[in-house]
Chain A
Amino acid sequence: MLILDCPCCGVSGEETEFHAGGEAHLKRHSVGSTDDQFEEYLFMRENPRGVHFERWRHNNGCGKWFHAARCTQTLEVFGTYSAQTYEPPKEIKDAISAKRPGWSWRNFS
């Protein structure tokens, strides 16, 4: 059972209070994009065994979306942060580096 902190309303809740919304920081390709870009956006997925970034929604709470950094191997939650960002903030990256030195995910590290 995951315990997540909602960065929007500050509530700390167990996973039944939230809903997983898939991979974070996707580039939403649209009109004028190539087939490759659409495939990338719609179907290709990061599926790491280890550090992963996801979107979550505080369904049974404030209802807002946010981001979470998590380990898919240990179910450890490194931290949560605002949905209004294109990449994880420094303190999240530092928190991951403290526990998983040398981690990388897409072009973040």
Chain B
Amino acid sequence: MKRYSAFAIAREALRYHTGWERAWRSPQPKSKYDVIIVGAGGHGLATAYYLGKNFGITNVAVIEKGWLGGGNTGRNTTIIRSNYLQDPSAAIYEKSRSLYETLSQDLNYNIMFSPRGVLMLAQTQHEIRGYKRTAHANALQGVPTEWIEPGRVKEICPIIELNGPRYPVLGGLFQARGGTARHDAVAWGYARACSDMGMDIIQQCEVTNVRTEAGKVVGVDTTKGAIDCDKLGGIVAGHSSVLAEMAGFRLPMESVALQALVSEPIKPAMDIVVMANTVHGYLSQSDKGEMVIGGGTDGYNNYTQRGSFHHIEETVRALIETFPMLSRLKMLRQWGGIVDVTGDRSPMLTKTPIEGMFMNCGWGTGGFKAIPGSGWAMAELMAKGESPLTDEFSMWRFKEGKFIDESVAAGVAH
């Protein structure tokens, strides 16, 4: 792999950019790999990357039924934060956020990480108490966040209307080191690095069956033929239940559609990320100038990657009370993704009833921020059979009552 650098740009400029090579190879699958990862989204590619980087396991295939990064990795609102309430969540999300800080250098690929600050608005008395509690919990966890008063909110986000008639802004939980990154670049950067380590990324190859012998995984059947493996990682977000069914077990989760939309591009108006959880909306401005708006989930099981129209109306109607300037904007695009929601709104990074098969799913409405940390932890789990970051995230925690309850702390729209 040729490294990207200022010199490379200069060199290519002199020869009319004829020397750029493809960022990753597109090989045909081999008959056997040590590890197969199903799903070439951010989490799957990150898992493969850290398997190679941290554990030297490079005989790896990442299989993707569509195109690389075309699922939720390419459909989210790119928010990165780690201000969660429970200790196990703070550990993995903060690991992730800290990995994001140096990810561009690590991958030699500009993921455009922008730690611009994430502000979660408190618009009810209940939220004030909830966020102060989270701020205290974060202090104990070593995650820098702070509770800020309305005056400071207006200072860092001038376009906000503090005295909305229904939902006045009463303060906020601010994580200055949170922010955004370029979501596609995260997938592309990991894919390029994986391919460089000799891993095979096989796109447009759908897994149709998981083959097991005596309770142990031996391979998968795909639309490009059968592939054997010693270990299998299922990292397929909204389709995890479908993959689990192929292997003959069930998961405590449901798949629902979550949608987002962007406005026409405007001049810089807001240089932080704002989440308004009471009204189920969150907002940031992309580098292109579009206002990126995330909404709530549809309330029923769904695999359509679309989202209901009336939820757009609900989201935007609520947001223009807090951001009146939005009322003049035209909306350009809307899209949806299928998110995998668990009972306690925390993910599962877990062994399964099938020996050698692992699942990494249940990230629900907030998976993008977790990509590096999730990959790091999942790689350790798959390589060593355990990881301090994944211990609490077993799929059996529900039976034991050991929930990691983030349904209050985690984002919006549950």
Do they bind each other? Answer: yes
Shortest Cβ distance from A92 into chain B, in angstroms?
A: 18
B241 touches A48 (CB 8 A): yes
Shortest Cβ distance from B102 into chain A, in angstroms?
A: 37
- The one of A1, A47, A48, A52 in contact with B251, judged by C-beta atoms closer than 8 angstroms, is A47
A19-B299 Cα distance, complex, nearest whole Å: 8
Flag B329-364 by CB within 8 Å of A: 1 or 0 each.
000000000000011000000000000000000000
Q: Would you call B304 an interface residue if the criterion is a C-beta within 8 Å of the partner chain's C-beta atoms?
A: yes
A43 touches B254 (CB 8 A): no
B398 touches A75 (CB 8 A): no
Shortest Cβ distance from A90 into chain B, in angstroms?
A: 24
- The one of B303, B308, B309, B398 in contact with A42, judged by C-beta atoms closer than 8 angstroms, is B398
Q: Would you call B250 an interface residue if the criterion is a C-beta within 8 Å of the partner chain's C-beta atoms?
A: yes
- The one of B239, B252, B308, B309 in contact with A45, judged by C-beta atoms closer than 8 angstroms, is B252
| B303 partner residues in chain A, CB cutoff 8 A | 49, 72-73
| A43 partner residues in chain B, CB cutoff 8 A | 252, 342-343, 398-399
A1-B245 Cα distance, complex, nearest whole Å: 28
Shortest Cβ distance from A38 into chain B, in angstroms?
A: 8
Q: Would you call A107 an interface residue if the criterion is a C-beta within 8 Å of the partner chain's C-beta atoms?
A: no
- The one of B242, B245, B252, B302 in contact with A44, judged by C-beta atoms closer than 8 angstroms, is B252
A9-B251 Cα distance, complex, nearest whole Å: 36
User: Which B282-328 residues have a C-beta within 8 angstroms of A?
Assistant: 299-304, 308-310
Q: Would you call A8 an interface residue if the criterion is a C-beta within 8 Å of the partner chain's C-beta atoms?
A: no
Given contacts A39-B399, A54-B300, contact A44 B309 (CB under 8 A): no
| B400 partner residues in chain A, CB cutoff 8 A | 35
Given contacts A39-B399, A43-B252, A47-B255, contact A16 B310 (CB under 8 A): yes
B299 touches A20 (CB 8 A): yes
Q: Would you call B247 an interface residue if the criterion is a C-beta within 8 Å of the partner chain's C-beta atoms?
A: no
Flag B236-256 by CB within 8 Å of A: 1 or 0 each.
000101100100001111110
| B302 partner residues in chain A, CB cutoff 8 A | 72, 75
| A36 partner residues in chain B, CB cutoff 8 A | 399
Shortest Cβ distance from B146 into chain A, in angstroms?
A: 35
A70-B304 Cα distance, complex, nearest whole Å: 13
A20-B255 Cα distance, complex, nearest whole Å: 14
| A1 partner residues in chain B, CB cutoff 8 A | 308-310
A45 touches B254 (CB 8 A): yes
A38-B343 Cα distance, complex, nearest whole Å: 13
Q: Would you call A33 an interface residue if the criterion is a C-beta within 8 Å of the partner chain's C-beta atoms?
A: no
Flag A44-59 by CB within 8 Å of B: 1 or 0 each.
1101110010100000
A39-B303 Cα distance, complex, nearest whole Å: 24
A1-B309 Cα distance, complex, nearest whole Å: 7
User: Which A11-39 residues have a C-beta within 8 angstroms of B?
Assistant: 15-16, 19-20, 35-36, 38-39
Shortest Cβ distance from A81 into chain B, in angstroms?
A: 17
Measured CB to CB, the nearest residue on chain B to A75 is B304
Shortest Cβ distance from B392 into chain A, in angstroms?
A: 16
Measured CB to CB, the nearest residue on chain B to A56 is B300
B301 touches A54 (CB 8 A): yes
Shortest Cβ distance from B361 into chain A, in angstroms?
A: 11
B-side residues, CB < 8 A to A, are: 239, 241-242, 245, 250-255, 299-304, 308-310, 342-343, 398-400
Q: A39-B399, A47-B251 are in contact. List 8 more A-B contacts (CB 8 A).
A: A39-B398, A44-B250, A45-B252, A47-B301, A48-B241, A49-B255, A49-B303, A74-B304
A-side residues, CB < 8 A to B, are: 1-2, 15-16, 19-20, 35-36, 38-39, 42-45, 47-49, 52, 54, 70, 72-75
Q: What 6 pairs between A and B have smallest CB-CB spacing?
A: A47-B241, A20-B300, A43-B252, A39-B399, A43-B398, A20-B299
List 26 A-B pairs, Cβ < 8 Å: A15-B310, A20-B299, A20-B300, A36-B399, A38-B399, A39-B252, A39-B399, A43-B343, A43-B399, A44-B250, A44-B251, A45-B250, A45-B252, A45-B253, A45-B254, A47-B255, A47-B301, A48-B245, A48-B301, A49-B241, A49-B242, A54-B300, A54-B301, A72-B304, A73-B303, A75-B302
